[in-house]
Structure 1
Amino acid sequence: MHEVEYAALKYYNNIISDECLYIGMLFHNLTTGKRDFRYISNFNRLKSFDDEVDLDFIKAYLRGIKNQITDNLFSGKKPFSIRDFARIYVNEMRFSKVTRLKVDDNEDYAENITKMYLKFDFSKDKRLSNTDEKKYIRKILLSSYTELSKNKIEGQYEENVCFDYVIDNVAIKYFSFKDKDVSRLIPSAKSWGFTAEEFKGKYEVVFLYDSDDESSPEEEKVLKILEKHAKVFSVREGLDYIISLNKQHI
């Protein structure tokens, strides 16, 4: 097993906004010492997100980070630390909190985690399957929490309510819009909204969603229903939020 750390680089269209676009992933294998930085190639998405962005500057900036990370600048100096490196990025480009997890020796963790966070940089056939994505969600959650509880919680009428993950007092339901007629998910969203209301005061219900497309009218309807009853995040933002709830997160 190898122990690795990673952080996501986010671009904000201004320094006071909460809206951001994930544009890079920084990795450090603590076992081997290998460092890696991967970043987007589809800059049209970035231009759509911020039509005033200087793409030439951003491209050069990202190349500079990669060169700095992957060469031997840190040799002979104090050991490389993602936390120390990420701390200097405080304006439009900021790194997420660092996550540490264990991976198998031959696991292509950098490729797979990059596909989770920079998914729209990959064609649909190259993205993670729902099964693989859930595997990594579980792995990342377990990096911050000692264990995941059973996903069944007793409801108000002594029935079993099955979430995808339950951690401490956080109950997580995963919605995938991939290859689905999203309009058929509206009744399910209403049902889960009702369920979230039932658990208020006992559990914090968090809805995670994933999609092959960045947005669609039908998806927006589902998300609006869910947002009336609980917090709703894309998988990437949701993982950051759930991890931040754990004060023991490294």
Structure 2
Amino acid sequence: MKKVNLFYSVCQYIPSLIRQESINFGIVVHCPESEYSEFYRTKNFNRIKHFDDEFDIDYLNMMAESLDYTFSIDRLHEDEFQDASLFNDIRDSSFIDERTKFYANEFRFLPTQHLSTTQEELCQDIEELKQTFLYYDQPKGERISTQEVRKLLSKQYKIVKLNKYISKTTFKDFADEPVFDFCYNDTVIKALSFDYVRGRDLIKQTKILSQDIIDNIEYLKGKMVQIVVDNEVNTNEETIVKSINKFYSISKKYNIDIEVVPLAEYSNMLISNGLK
């Protein structure tokens, strides 16, 4: 199968330039060989409303429309007023960079990333990027499993070219299964589905992982335990709060470092900072 290039950049909304806190607003994707580009905006404005005290839906809709106009080539077929010359460089690998370099205040783009794919797998790769960075747009009943979180996490390591520094952990639980999914230096990583809709499953996974951590506490002393989850951690959802508190109570009791971080935030950090 013939290889094609897929470039993407995550758009972040930063309402306060003083606090510098950000939230993913969308993602732009570009395939030069297919002469395709698209801006996918978040549909979950309720999450932005909770994030931004001065939430202005009219302003955000205007910005979403502007970004769509700038990046989405399909608008050429839908909008008779769209300037076709805006996409003269659609086959250039610098297409995204040439547009995102002008955004520096409330809306900023993370460095452009690249992956090699095929025409047959292009749509699936784009969907997986949306799952990773716009996870909260998915209906709660369609959120992803622990296995899918692990798969997306592994793919992000590969995309940002950090997979050569990542290895599989060697110690296992009583069922001879790996306790953690990945490790590097003094950090071990566990992918976990934090879907409170499947509350009983979340409680079960939390109990198993908690016991695995306790059983291997001597090995984990001096290490960082990162639990990468598919949901927000700043939430009032009772099951998620209980799970997070369980992990942090173990951290405090046994004096080990445990961090629970959402997949989208973790992937943003990989792009911006690499492996800490």
TM-score range, shorter chain: 0.7 to 0.9
Residue identity opposite 1:118 in structure 2:
L
Deviations 1:15-53 (A, max 9, x none): 133543222111112443421101022323322322412
Matched residue count:
243
Distance in 1, matches of 2:143 and 2:132, equals 8
Query: What is the TM-score of this pair, normalised by structure 1?
Result: 0.78
Distance in 1, matches of 2:199 and 2:41, equals 29
Distance in 2, matches of 1:163 and 1:172, equals 6
Residue identity opposite 2:57 in structure 1:
L
Q: Is the 8 A contact 1:3 1:30 kept in 2?
A: yes
Is 1:138 the counterpart of 2:159? The answer is no
Is 1:102 the counterpart of 2:116? The answer is yes
Structure number with larger C-alpha Rg: 2
Matched residue SS, 2:170 = strand
Greater percentage in helix:
2
Distance in 2, matches of 1:55 and 1:112, equals 27
Residue identity opposite 1:220 in structure 2:
V
Match of 1:16 among 10, 15, 18: 18
- Tell me the percent identity: 21
Deviations 1:203-224 (A, max 9, x none): 5432201249973233123224
CA 1:200–1:31 in structure 2 vs 1: closer, same or farther (change >3 Å)? farther
Matched residue SS, 2:88 = coil
Q: Tell me the equivalent position of 2:269.
A: 241
Structure 1: runs of 5 or more not aligned: none
Q: Report the Cα offset of residue 174 of structure 1.
A: 1.0
Q: Tell me the equivalent position of 2:29.
A: 27
Trace 1:26-175 onto structure 2 (pairs within 5 A). Answer: 26-71=28-73, 72=84, 73-75=86-88, 79=92, 80-107=94-121, 108=123, 109-143=125-159, 144-147=161-164, 150-154=167-171, 162-167=179-184, 170-175=187-192
Matched residue SS, 1:153 = coil
Q: Is the 8 A contact 2:150 2:181 kept in 1?
A: no
Distance in 2, matches of 1:81 and 1:21, equals 24
Greater percentage in strand:
1
Q: Report the Cα offset of residue 133 of structure 1.
A: 4.0
Query: What is the TM-score of this pair, normalised by structure 2?
Result: 0.72
Matched residue SS, 1:177 = coil
Distance in 2, matches of 1:196 and 1:90, equals 44
